[in-house]
Structure 1
């Protein structure tokens, strides 16, 4: 760590470490120019146009640090819509649940609005318009923020309903569903499918599980 690196306490203590220049308007008179300085010091890492990630304390000043794609997806969505309006879902939640062994270059996040794919320096973020209040969620911790992701039951239904979301193929979707089927509570899954009017998705999950 560079001993000359400093960062204001109010930024260091933010729960969400994904920052936009306007988020620092109460700290700096000219946030954009200050962010450029923090980039040069490797305090911030540029994620995409208008979005920056604050390095963890132990990596401040290390230009090699890059954030995790799932953390970026959740942090960006929270920055734009608030913590409780967004959640990691589909293949991104599946990977968090241990059902997708390989890292992929796309993260999927539920958000209040549909919007174009966000290209970042660690991968693509796909936003899916969903009312997260209607989803079955659990807490998730990332290296940039804490928030929500879909449960194994919800994730299985989401992958079954849109198996190609995030760029995976049919065979990999089936593999994910088989792995999730070993983790899910079938009573919960069936109730979610009824409430969300997803009989075809439920049938696909059961087919993958051999149930």
Structure 2
């Protein structure tokens, strides 16, 4: 496999991202070939053993993906593209409910036991074990391709469950306030579980209904 073939294989992968172990091992020096491609700007090393192909002809020596797109790409490379989703503060960033960039990304994954991961391109990913199939998700476009993101209503519900975590209290509160204005009350009400409703969820629903005149 030539350097060009390796770059193309990674570009064809979901979210343009592959683990080194998943690159077809046609040559004994795949690692060296990948490092050459990184040095030339044809690939970007997101974290140890995971690489992405910059889109739209970008030079990887000067380009880096947004943290949320990189987090979704890494989770997809590890677990499968339809087994993971952006959630929490990262989904709120996607929905522009948290406008300021933050250094933490959160992805829902199907298994527990994975420590937070630092990115070579900056920032940190947290892997949250969730039953992804039970979440309200939508397929959305990121700078690296299509991936699953929790809907605004699901994102609001998740933020209400984690108001004090990761030192992001101010950002989470801002995200809640902005999502309250985006989400139709009936969509939020439909997601409220029969038990273990997050603290404040019913108050938020009442506020949303009042704002919508219902």
TM-score normalised by structure 2 residue count: 0.86
1:200 Cα deviation after fit: 2.6
1:124-152 residue CA offsets vs partner (Å, 9 max, x unmatched): 00110001110001112112231100011
Unaligned runs of 5+ in 1: 1-5
1:39 Cα deviation after fit: 1.2
1:47-105 residue CA offsets vs partner (Å, 9 max, x unmatched): 11111221124214x51111111111000110111111100000111111111010000
SS at match of 2:148: strand
Q: CA RMSD in A?
A: 2.1
What is the number of residues matched between the two proteins?
204
SS at match of 2:191: helix
Distance in 1 (alpha carbons) for counterparts of 2:187 and 2:209: 18
1:210 Cα deviation after fit: 8.6
SS at match of 2:171: helix
Unaligned runs of 5+ in 2: none
| Residue of structure 2 equivalent to 1:130 | 130
SS at match of 2:192: helix
1:33-58 residue CA offsets vs partner (Å, 9 max, x unmatched): 11111111111111111112211242
| Residue of structure 1 equivalent to 2:97 | 99
Indicate how the Cα distance of structure 1 residues 150 and 75 shifts in structure 2: closer, same or farther if over 3 A, else same: same
Indicate how the Cα distance of structure 1 residues 105 and 196 shifts in structure 2: closer, same or farther if over 3 A, else same: farther
| Residue of structure 1 equivalent to 2:180 | 181
| Residue of structure 2 equivalent to 1:34 | 33
| Residue of structure 2 equivalent to 1:113 | 111
